[in-house]
Chains A and B, each alone.
Chain A
Amino acid sequence: MTATTMVRPRRWARLPFSPWHLVLLPATLVLIFPFAWLLITSVQTLSEALHFPPILTPHTLRFANYSDAWHSAPFGRFFVNSSVVAVTTVLCNLVLCSLAGYAFARFRFLGRGVLFVTIMATLMVPFQVTMIPQFIITKWLGVHVLAGVGIDHIGALILPNAATAFGVFFLRQFFRTLPIEYEESARVDGASRLTVLWRIVLPLSMPALATLAALTFLDSWNSFLWPLIVITSTNQMTLPLGLATFQGAHSTQWTLLMAGNVMSLIPMLVIFFVAQRYFVRSVAATGLAGT
C-alpha cells in the first residue's frame, strides 16, 4: 500500500482525520445501502414493508420470513446444486486445463499449432453465438449418450464448462514462465511426463491454479443464462435460477423475496470474505494480464 503523499492543502490541517473520509464514508454508505435495506426488508412484516413512506426501523422483527421462504422454495437444494456444479467445474478445469496447458507449453506433437489456434479463436466468441448449438448438442447427448449431462440435469451445467479455452491459455502462459531445467533433470532421472507435471510443475504453479479456481468458481456460481436455457425442474436449479423462479412466483411478497435473496447470497458472501485475498488477487490478475 502506498502512503499518502499527495501534498495536502493547508486548510485541511485542522481536521482531526483525513479529508478523504468525507468522500469515502458517504460513498461507502451508498454502496452498502442496498445490502442494508435488503436485510431490513427481510425481517419486516409485509404490512410494514408495504408502507409509504418506508419504515426504516421495523417495530417487530419477523424472522418467520426466512422459514416461509425456505418452505416455499427449496433453497437448500439450490445451494447444494450450485455447490456441486461450481466445485466440480473448478476441479475439472484444474485437471483438464493443467494437462492441456502443459502439453501446449512443453510438448511437441503433430497438430499442436492448429489445435492451439482453434482454441484461441473460441476465446473471442461471445457465449450468445454458441448457446443455440450448445443447447442442441446437450439435448442430443442427454438422449443418446448419458441422461446425466442432458437437458434438465445439473450435469449439463458442468460438462460444457469442464474445460475452458481461457483456462488452457492462462495455464500454458504460466507454465512457460517456469524454468525448464527442473523438468528436464527430472526427466533425465526417469520421471514420466505426468510425474513431472504433478510433482514439479503444479507445486510451482499454485498462484496460477488458485487464480483459475477463483475465477472459474465465481463464473460458475453466478451463471444465469445457460441454466435458464437448459434447466426447467426446480430440483435441478442453481441459486440464481432458483431465485429468479422464486421471484416470478412471489413477485409482490417483498419480505419473502428479500429473505430468499439473503439466503441465496449469504453463502457466496461468506466464501468471498473468507477467501477475499484470493478473489481480489485473481480479479486484479485479469486486469494486469490485460495491461
Chain B
Amino acid sequence: MAATPAVARRRPGRSRVAARRVTASEHFTGWGFVTPGVAIILLFGAVPIVWSAVMSFQRSDLLHPSTPFVGLRNYREMVHDPVVTQAIMHTLVYTVLFVPGTMVVGLFLAVAMNRKIRLLWLYRTAAYATMAISTISEALVFIWLFDPSYGIVNYFLSLLGIPQQPFLNSPSEALYVIVIMTIWGWTGFAVVIYLAALQGVPQTLIEAAAIDGAGPWRTFRKVTLPLLSPASLFLAVWLTINALQLFDEVYLSTMGGPLNATTVLVFYLYEQAFSQFNFGYASAIAYFLFIVILVVTAIQFRVGRRFTYYRS
C-alpha cells in the first residue's frame, strides 16, 4: 500500500479527520484494503439477493431450458399450494413453542446458577456443553432417545404408566419432539446470554429491595426481570430468527414427515430447490420467508421497546 503523508493541509475550524484532504492515493489505499473482503461479500451476499428476487419472478426449473418472466405466478402458486399453508402453520407452531420454551429454561437455569455454590462449574459446564454439539449430532441422539420401539423416553413414560408413544412416527407428536430437542440444543446459548446480563444487575438494587421488605420472588419480578429485559428482547429476536429458519433437525429426524407433519418453510424450500430444482418457486418461498422474518423482527422490536428497560 502506498503511504500517504499523514499531516496534510488542514482547513481551520473542522475536526482533524474531516479536515484532511483526501488524496488520490488515499482512495486507492482504501479500495485496496476493502476490495478482497467486499468482493466476496458482494459476490456471495449482495448479488444473490438481487438474483433470487429476479428468479422469484421467473419460471426456472429443469423441464424448460429458458427462464421467462412469469410475473407474480410463483407467488400466486404459493397461495394455492396446500403444503405451503401447512409449512407456515408448522413453522409458526414450532416458533411459538420453541422461543418462549428456550427463554424460560435459560432464565431459570441462569438465575439458579448466578450464585456462589458448590458444583457450580459442573452445572455451568453441563449447560454450556449443549453449545458445542452440532444440530446433526443433537438430532441423532434425540432420534435414539425418542425411538418408538427401543427409546429410553418411552421406558421412562412406562414407569409413569403411560403407554408407548410413536413420537417421530406420529403426525401429532413429531413436531413437539423437534421442539424438545432444539430447546435442549439452545439451552447453553440462552444460559450464557442471561448469565452475562445477570452480571450487570447491581447488587445494591437487590439489597435495597430486600430492605424495603420485598420477598425474593417479588424482588425477582420487580427488579431483576426488568433489568434483564434487554437480554430477553435480544434472545426473543435471535431465537425467533433461528426458529423460522429451522431445517437441520427436520432433515435428519423426519424429512418433513410423517404426512408433512414437520414440513417447515425452509425444509419445503430446500425440497423445491434441490430435489425438484424449481429455482423460481423456491426463490419466491425464500423471499416470503425473508419478509416474514423482517415483519416479525420489526414487531418484536416495537412491542419489545415498550417492555424493555435500558438503564443507561
Among the stretches B33-41, B85-93, B96-104, B166-174, the one at the interface with A is B33-41
Shortest distance in angstroms between B210's beta carbon and chain A's nearest beta carbon? Answer: 5
Shortest distance in angstroms between A63's beta carbon and chain B's nearest beta carbon? Answer: 19
Indicate if B295 sits at the interface (CB-CB under 8 A): no
Shortest distance in angstroms between B123's beta carbon and chain A's nearest beta carbon? Answer: 5
In the complex, the answer to whether B144 meets A265 with C-beta atoms within 8 Å is no
Among A2, A37, A104, A291, point to the contact of B114 (Cβ < 8 A): A2
Our count of residue pairs bridging A and B at CB distance below 8 angstroms stands at 335
Bitwise, A160-182 to B at CB < 8 A (1) or not (0) is 11111101100000000000100
In the complex, the answer to whether B37 meets A287 with C-beta atoms within 8 Å is no
A105-142, CB < 8 A from B: 107-112, 115, 118-119, 121-122, 124-137
Residues of A within 8 A of B198 (CB): 2
Known: A100-B33, A225-B270, A265-B137. A247 touches B196 (CB 8 A): no
Shortest distance in angstroms between A165's beta carbon and chain B's nearest beta carbon? Answer: 5
Residues of B within 8 A of A164 (CB): 41
Residues of B within 8 A of A265 (CB): 132-134, 137
Indicate if A206 sits at the interface (CB-CB under 8 A): no
- Measured CB to CB, the nearest residue on chain B to A27 is B109
CA separation between A209 and B40, bound complex, in Å?
20
Known: A31-B130, A37-B144, A52-B155. A162 touches B40 (CB 8 A): yes
Residues of B within 8 A of A264 (CB): 134, 137
Bitwise, B34-59 to A at CB < 8 A (1) or not (0) is 10111011111111110110010000
Shortest distance in angstroms between B10's beta carbon and chain A's nearest beta carbon? Answer: 12
Indicate if B176 sits at the interface (CB-CB under 8 A): no
- Measured CB to CB, the nearest residue on chain A to B217 is A6
In the complex, the answer to whether B210 meets A7 with C-beta atoms within 8 Å is yes
Among B193, B206, B247, point to the contact of A5 (Cβ < 8 A): B206
In the complex, the answer to whether A130 meets B132 with C-beta atoms within 8 Å is no
In the complex, the answer to whether B49 meets A122 with C-beta atoms within 8 Å is yes
Instruction: Among A25, A224, A269, A271, find the residue whose CB has the most chain B CB atoms closer than 10 A.
Output: A224
- Measured CB to CB, the nearest residue on chain A to B210 is A7
In the complex, the answer to whether B251 meets A228 with C-beta atoms within 8 Å is yes
Indicate if A203 sits at the interface (CB-CB under 8 A): no
Indicate if A254 sits at the interface (CB-CB under 8 A): yes
B268-301, CB < 8 A from A: 269-270, 273-274, 279, 282-283, 286-287, 289-290, 293-294
Among A52, A97, A125, A225, point to the contact of B247 (Cβ < 8 A): A225
CA separation between A160 and B46, bound complex, in Å?
12
Indicate if A79 sits at the interface (CB-CB under 8 A): no
In the complex, the answer to whether A163 meets B36 with C-beta atoms within 8 Å is yes
CA separation between A152 and B144, bound complex, in Å?
30
Q: Which residues of A approach B to under 8 Å, CB–CB? A: 1-9, 17-18, 20-21, 23-25, 27-28, 31-32, 34-35, 37-38, 41, 49-54, 96-97, 99-100, 102-104, 107-112, 115, 118-119, 121-122, 124-137, 159-165, 167-168, 180, 184, 187-188, 190-194, 218, 221-222, 224-225, 228-229, 239-241, 243-244, 247, 254, 257-258, 261, 264-265, 268-269, 271-273, 276, 279-280, 283-284, 286-288, 290-291
Given contacts A6-B210, A126-B293, 8 further A-B contacts (CB under 8 A): A100-B38, A115-B38, A184-B6, A194-B1, A240-B135, A240-B248, A261-B141, A269-B133
Q: Which 6 A-B pairs have CB atoms at the shortest separation, nearest pair first?
A: A109-B30, A291-B230, A187-B6, A133-B48, A122-B45, A103-B33
24 A–B pairs (Cβ distance < 8 Å), ordered by A: A4-B116, A6-B220, A7-B210, A27-B112, A31-B130, A100-B36, A103-B29, A118-B42, A121-B49, A128-B289, A129-B287, A132-B273, A133-B48, A134-B48, A135-B274, A159-B44, A165-B41, A193-B3, A224-B247, A261-B140, A272-B129, A280-B128, A283-B189, A290-B233
Q: Which residues of B approach A to under 8 Å, CB–CB? A: 1-4, 6-7, 16-17, 20, 22, 26-31, 33-34, 36-38, 40-49, 51-52, 55, 108-109, 112-119, 122-123, 125-138, 140-142, 144-145, 147, 149-150, 152, 154-155, 158, 184, 187, 189, 192-193, 195-199, 201, 203, 206-207, 210, 215-216, 219-220, 230-231, 233-235, 237-238, 241, 244-245, 247-248, 251-252, 266, 269-270, 273-274, 279, 282-283, 286-287, 289-290, 293-294, 310
